[in-house]
Chains A and B, each alone.
Chain A
Amino acid sequence: MIEVRNLTKQYGSKTAVKNISFSVNEGEILGFLGPNGAGKSTTMNMLTGYISSTSGIAKINGIDILEDPISAKKCIGYLPEKPPVYGDMTVKEYLNFVYKLKKSKLPRESHLAEICELVKITDVKNRLIRNLSKGYQQRVGFAQALVGNPGVLILDEPTVGLDPKQIIEIRTLIKRLGKHHTVILSSHILPEVQAVCDRIVVISSGSIVANDTTDALARNLSSDHKLVVRSEGNPEEIKKLLSGIQGMERVHINREAEPGVYEFFLEAKQGADIRRDVSKKLSSRNYPILLMKSNELTLEEIFLKLTTGDNYGGLEKYEKALDSKEKESGK
């Protein structure tokens, strides 16, 4: 459905997107995950033909977006980062305009009414768009992308500016649409992508650092066999004690979290649940457990992990680097 090969975009000497390749199959929801400025929007703008690529190929339904832009654009519904709505039109006028702009052949009245129902803007359809709240404007933008029922939906941060209830509604909607459409959605919120997408492409400073199914990524990135534990006592002794647990592969003293309280990173064999053993071992020597949690990585840590390949203390290293930088600048 969507095929991207060696896509590159350069702005002058700055490379915004570096040689990325991926493909999305029909009926698949692909999450595009990355921090701000990673090249998500640039990639989406290239896919939709808003900007051209410096090199590489982007194909929608087998049609090259640069060779036959009109036919390719007919298959795409695009919701840019900022919803492209006209403040001086009512929602109804706007959707009628988009309907004509996209030269849709579907029956107008019923098609637009259906879309309004879908994104729940029926009750505001006679209001001027500039008087609507950000959340409603976002939904009008979403409605615009759905006009003409395009096979491919490209959504750039579709839930930004929505309240939690609306976010859940939009996510459900995307999931529903994903059954019949090919969807690419970008986000910098990991749980969102996890909740909605079948597959995730992680992009960092213009390059793809991971491309896997959501389950596989989640399994790799955050798992019960890795724990963070805080306990009070002699760190070396505790380390020795914990290392004796069956299946334990690595014990790492991370830092002194509070006076006398140390934080440990534990890694056991894949699939091993060591929580009970850790608890028993520590209490047998009267070391109190002050904190125990599975080492779920935040998005920042995932990035560090994916970009540095470091399993432990990626964030710590980053913080240390920041600290030393601050000290340097302080001098």
Chain B
Amino acid sequence: MFAIMKRELLSYFTSPLGYVFIAVFYLFSGIFLFLFTLTSQSADMSYVYTGMFFVMLIMIPILTMRLMAEENKQKTDQLLLTSPVSLPRLVMGKFLSAFAILLICMLIFLVYGIVLSCFASVNWAVILGNIVGMLLLGALCVSAGLFVSTLTENQMIAAVGSIGLNIAFILVDSFASVMPTKFLQEVIYSLSFFSRYNEFTIGIFSLSNIFFFASVAFIFLFLTVRVLEKRRWS
């Protein structure tokens, strides 16, 4: 598992992808910090986190597109699947590599917190809570992207497919508003990624939201394992 994770990380940083991804992530978070926090002269970063919701949903597919698609194309999956490694471990290794990149991305918010704390009092609990929230959202996007990447051997299709999937996640709220019955509205609304994520940004650290993101991520990882398994049997 860690061998696979290490290899993937190495591959992120032997190509420009890892660097570019982190740089663009820092760029967007910097722009949001400047626009929403610094210019309004407040130490409240909640709009920054809201902005990051969309950035992550659009960007993470770029990070995950090649995870399995490239293996399928280069037939290197033959090495992985004939090695004494179980499929869940293989999938976890892939997942953790992209997740580790996200961890590096999140460090910037600690830096922002430190910078802000020089000028105003900063609520560290909220900052840390939001980093956890973004990591949970990130974990979900990574596992969804990994799932789509497993389905194809073309990186572009993997990227477009998972961006589409993520946009569908964003649109869940819009669907809720057009549902005819109150009950359906509530059911769909409870699946809303944005409103759940939003609770983190305004400082609510609720266990049910953590559980929601973690379990959806788990479902996609599980599906990824099943797809690999199924291909073997078909």
| A residues neighboring B (CB under 8 Å) | 11, 45, 48-52, 70-71, 73-74, 76, 78, 80, 82, 84-89, 93, 97-98, 100-103, 144
B3 pairs with A101, CB closer than 8 A:
yes
In the complex, what residues of A have CB within 8 A of residue B226's CB?
A: none
A52 pairs with B7, CB closer than 8 A:
no
Which residue in chain A gives the minimum CB-CB distance to B82? Answer: A48
Q: Is B233 an interface residue (CB 8 A)?
A: yes
**Given A74-B84, A86-B74: A101 in contact with B232 (beta carbons within 8 A):** no
**Can you list 16 A-B pairs, Cβ within 8 angstroms, ordered by A?**
A48-B82, A50-B78, A70-B84, A73-B84, A76-B82, A84-B75, A84-B78, A86-B11, A86-B76, A88-B10, A88-B11, A89-B10, A89-B14, A100-B3, A101-B3, A101-B83
B232 pairs with A80, CB closer than 8 A:
no
In the complex, what residues of B have CB within 8 A of residue A50's CB?
A: 78, 81-82, 232
A80 pairs with B84, CB closer than 8 A:
no
In the complex, what residues of A have CB within 8 A of residue B82's CB?
A: 48-50, 73, 76, 78
**Given A51-B232, A52-B232, A102-B83: A78 in contact with B7 (beta carbons within 8 A):** no
| B residues neighboring A (CB under 8 Å) | 2-4, 6-7, 10-11, 14-15, 74-86, 232-234
Least distance between A101 CB and chain B CB atoms (Å): 5
Q: Which of B7, B11, B77 has the most CB of A within 10 A?
A: B7
Query: A70 CA to B86 CA in the complex, in Å?
Result: 7
A144 pairs with B233, CB closer than 8 A:
no
Which residue in chain B gives the minimum CB-CB distance to A45? Answer: B78
Least distance between B67 CB and chain A CB atoms (Å): 13
Which of these, B75, B85, B86, B233, contacts A80 with CB under 8 Å? Answer: B75
Least distance between B72 CB and chain A CB atoms (Å): 12
Which residue in chain B gives the minimum CB-CB distance to A103? Answer: B84
B75 pairs with A101, CB closer than 8 A:
no
Not counting A84-B75, A97-B7, a sample of 14 additional A-B residue pairs whose C-beta atoms are within 8 angstroms of each other reads A11-B234, A52-B233, A73-B83, A80-B79, A82-B75, A84-B79, A85-B76, A86-B76, A88-B14, A89-B10, A89-B14, A97-B3, A98-B79, A101-B83
Chain B contact surface mostly: helix
**Given A74-B84, A101-B85, A102-B83: A86 in contact with B75 (beta carbons within 8 A):** no
A80 pairs with B78, CB closer than 8 A:
yes
**Given A89-B7, A89-B10: A101 in contact with B15 (beta carbons within 8 A):** no
**Given A50-B81, A76-B82: A101 in contact with B4 (beta carbons within 8 A):** yes
The 6 A-B residue pairs whose C-beta atoms are closest, nearest first, are A100-B3, A84-B79, A48-B82, A84-B76, A73-B84, A80-B78
A49 pairs with B74, CB closer than 8 A:
no
Which residue in chain A gives the minimum CB-CB distance to B87? Answer: A69
B14 pairs with A101, CB closer than 8 A:
no
In the complex, what residues of B have CB within 8 A of residue A144's CB?
A: 79
In the complex, what residues of A have CB within 8 A of residue B233's CB?
A: 51-52
Query: A89 CA to B15 CA in the complex, in Å?
Result: 11
Query: A100 CA to B233 CA in the complex, in Å?
Result: 27
Least distance between A80 CB and chain B CB atoms (Å): 5
Query: A98 CA to B77 CA in the complex, in Å?
Result: 13
In the complex, what residues of A have CB within 8 A of residue B6's CB?
A: 97, 100
A102 pairs with B10, CB closer than 8 A:
no
In the complex, what residues of A have CB within 8 A of residue B2's CB?
A: 100
In the complex, what residues of A have CB within 8 A of residue B77's CB?
A: 84
